[in-house]
């Protein structure tokens, strides 16, 4: 897609436009679009990824916040009758309006760093209406999502993301692949929401609160970090060492604690 269109990246939208064709192709190949897919791209920007997605899946919805990019995107992809642009804030957009059980969403996006975590938590709650998600994010965020118990990166984001879906860190994207160059490295992640959850929380909001309490002060033992939820004896009854640190627990351990807390409250 060649065009004289000039658009200055806006800091308030967290814009960094991807221009490296090798990385763009690698992202689209990771998504592996097919003509029957129900794909939504968040933040198409100048359409670098959009163009390759449309070549393989001519039905495409995109959500773009920056209204100045709208005329350019509409003109660039006018030859695709099933290309639909929604000028909206992704954090407020009704993704459910585009999804159905027969056509679950495949979501793709180069997400601004300032909205990535709240947006992903929002999308994870759509459950089986999302088939998979491929996002380019700050490398540190991807590392936290995919982290194993016992590692420094393991925390609330790891537990909650891994509760909802299978997480795969795919590859790194260096700063020079963008204009303007960000000050951090990026990475691409694949998230596949579970249709059958490996472990099931009685109440996800209780799980989130328990995990949040556990990691608010990482150096505390579980006995101290979770004292508002349960005592040492209750943890031992679940087969969990009250003197352990939060980062040593698996997702299943946190679900066990949250489910016990849920029972205590009801």
Ordered by where they begin, the domains of the chain are 11-193 (3.40.50.150), 204-265 (1.10.8.100)
User: What is the number of residues in the chain?
Assistant: 266
Q: Using the structure block, give the residue that is written with the tokens 């359409």.
A: 47
Cα angle vertex 194, ends 93, 213, to 5°? 75
pLDDT attached to residue 15? 52
pLDDT attached to residue 264? 74
Q: Please, what are the averages of pLDDT over each run of 10 residues along the chain (266 residues)?
A: 46 63 95 97 93 96 93 96 96 93 93 85 90 95 96 95 97 88 90 95 96 91 93 95 96 97 77
Tell me if 188 sits within 8 A of 170, measured CB to CB.
yes
- Annotate 4-41 with b (16+ C-beta within 10 A) or e (fewer): eeeeeeeeebbbbbbebeebbeebbeebebeeebbbbb
pLDDT attached to residue 11? 45
Q: Which two tokens stand for residue 210?
A: 């328990």
Region for 216 from its dihedrals, namely left if φ exceeds 0, alpha if ψ lies in -120 to 50, beta otherwise: alpha
3-state secondary structure of 26: helix
Q: Please tell me the distance from the alpha carbon of residue 154 to that of residue 145, in angstroms, as a whole number.
A: 8
Tell me if 40 sits within 8 A of 62, measured CB to CB.
yes
pLDDT attached to residue 46? 87
Strand order in the sheet with 130-138: 83-87, 60-64, 38-42, 105-110, 130-138, 186-193, 165-173
Q: What is the pTM of this model?
A: 0.90
CA atoms within a 13 Å half-sphere pointing along the CA-CB vector of 116: 27
Q: Which two tokens stand for residue 158?
A: 């790891």
**Alpha helices by DSSP H, 93-203:** 116-124, 139-146, 156-164
Q: Using the structure block, give the residue that is written with the tokens 């393991």.
A: 154
The separation between CA 179 and the C-alpha centre of its own chain, rounded to angstroms, equals 23
**Residues linked to residue 178 through DSSP beta bridges, in sequence order:** 18
Q: Which two tokens stand for residue 209?
A: 């609160």
pLDDT attached to residue 266? 60
Count the neighbouring beta carbons within 10 Å of the beta carbon of residue 55.
Answer: 11
Q: Which two tokens stand for residue 217?
A: 């002060």
């Amino acid at each position: 897609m060649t065009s004289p269109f000039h658009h200055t990246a806006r800091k308030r939208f967290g814009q960094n436009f991807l221009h490296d064709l090798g990385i763009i192709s690698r992202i689209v190949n990771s998504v592996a679009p097919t003509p029957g897919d129900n794909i939504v791209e968040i933040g198409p920007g100048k359409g670098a990824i959009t163009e390759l997605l449309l070549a393989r899946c001519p039905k495409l919805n995109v959500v773009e916040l920056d209204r100045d990019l709208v005329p350019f995107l509409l003109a660039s992809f006018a030859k695709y009758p099933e290309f639909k642009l929604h000028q909206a804030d992704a954090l407020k957009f009704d993704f459910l309006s585009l999804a159905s059980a027969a056509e679950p969403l495949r979501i793709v996006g180069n997400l601004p760093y300032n909205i990535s975590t709240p947006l992903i938590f929002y999308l994870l709650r759509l459950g089986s209406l999302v088939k998979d998600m491929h996002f380019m994010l700050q490398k540190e965020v991807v590392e936290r999502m995919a982290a194993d118990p016992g590692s420094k990166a393991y925390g609330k984001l790891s537990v909650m993301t891994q509760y909802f879906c299978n997480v795969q860190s795919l590859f790194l994207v260096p700063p020079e692949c963008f204009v303007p160059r960000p000050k951090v490295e990026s990475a691409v992640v694949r998230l596949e929401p579970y249709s059958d959850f490996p472990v099931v929380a009685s109440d996800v909001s209780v799980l989130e609160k328990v995990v949040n309490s556990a990691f608010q002060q990482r150096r505390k033992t579980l006995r101290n970090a979770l004292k508002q939820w349960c005592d040492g004896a209750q943890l031992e009854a679940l087969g969990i060492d009250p003197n352990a640190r939060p980062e040593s627990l698996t997702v299943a351990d946190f679900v066990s604690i949250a489910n016990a807390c849920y029972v205590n409250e009801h």
